[in-house]
Structure 1
């Protein structure tokens, strides 16, 4: 397995740590990901994590733009200003920092959501609502053609 798939809800411990699902740690090991780059999702109230290559991908996209354009500035603001590097501890736990907690509105639980080349952290009810809305929209589009 070389993709982040599925979703799991986990408890955040009293010290603000959460165990990353074993299936996600397996993907990280297979891809030799030691440092995670985490950033605020552009559309959803979720915090995204991927290997350093995800930061490289966004920086390549930014480099194709005029560095003074509003689009380049916006992307840099989101990718550079809304992100940071993270590392799992020796027991496979991720520290839920204030940056993550505030952006994703997390309290005592978090839902890990696989998104193929990265994964996201969601507040569990917010993820359920968004998934239900996406399912309804897809079903509606399928029913109408």
Structure 2
């Protein structure tokens, strides 16, 4: 399985296009139905529910994210809310041959993006931030981990 790792800054052009970091494109291809040999990298973009940023999901990652919906009655309010929250604002797209994606105007506005963006790896997905806000979020995460003296446990147990 691929992981989105690191922070990368790229320019957002006047048309709303941005180059996806090469290492991220590799993971997007690997975790797609077409596989590593794909000519383009498919990605599903959506606004983060928790933060003022855009999330980028692989095809297989987004399918795994939505798989637990099968545990809800299809006609329940909970199912309807989850489906709307996950799929209603999602935008599937592919990189062009130069590795760029076109960010939808509503997502650019939601994340407060201007001429530069920060791609921040988040393991199974990545986030696209306004660079200063991304730096603040990284610092906040480190501070909270340190303050709580959190450590990783062997075997992935929480």
Fold equivalence (TM over 0.5): yes
Q: 1:65 deviation in Å?
A: 0.9
Q: Which residue number in structure 2 is paired with residue 2 of structure 1?
A: 2
Q: Which consecutive residues of structure 1, in runs of 5 or more, have no partner in the other structure?
A: none
Q: 1:135 aligns with which of 142, 148, 151?
A: 142
Q: 1:54 deviation in Å?
A: 2.6
Contact 1:10–1:18 under 8 Å retained in 2: yes
Q: Runs of 4 or more off by more than 4 Å in structure 1?
A: none
Q: 1:29 deviation in Å?
A: 3.4
> RMSD of the alignment, in Å?
2.0
Alignment length (residue pairs): 143
Alpha-carbon distance in structure 1 between the residues aligned to 2:110 and 2:97: 26
Contact 1:12–1:108 under 8 Å retained in 2: yes
Q: Which residue number in structure 1 is paired with residue 120 of structure 2?
A: 113
Alpha-carbon distance in structure 2 between the residues aligned to 1:138 and 1:106: 27
Q: 2:130 aligns with which of 109, 119, 123?
A: 123
**TM-score normalised by structure 1 residue count:** 0.87
Q: 1:112 deviation in Å?
A: 0.4
Q: Which residue number in structure 2 is paired with residue 14 of structure 1?
A: 14
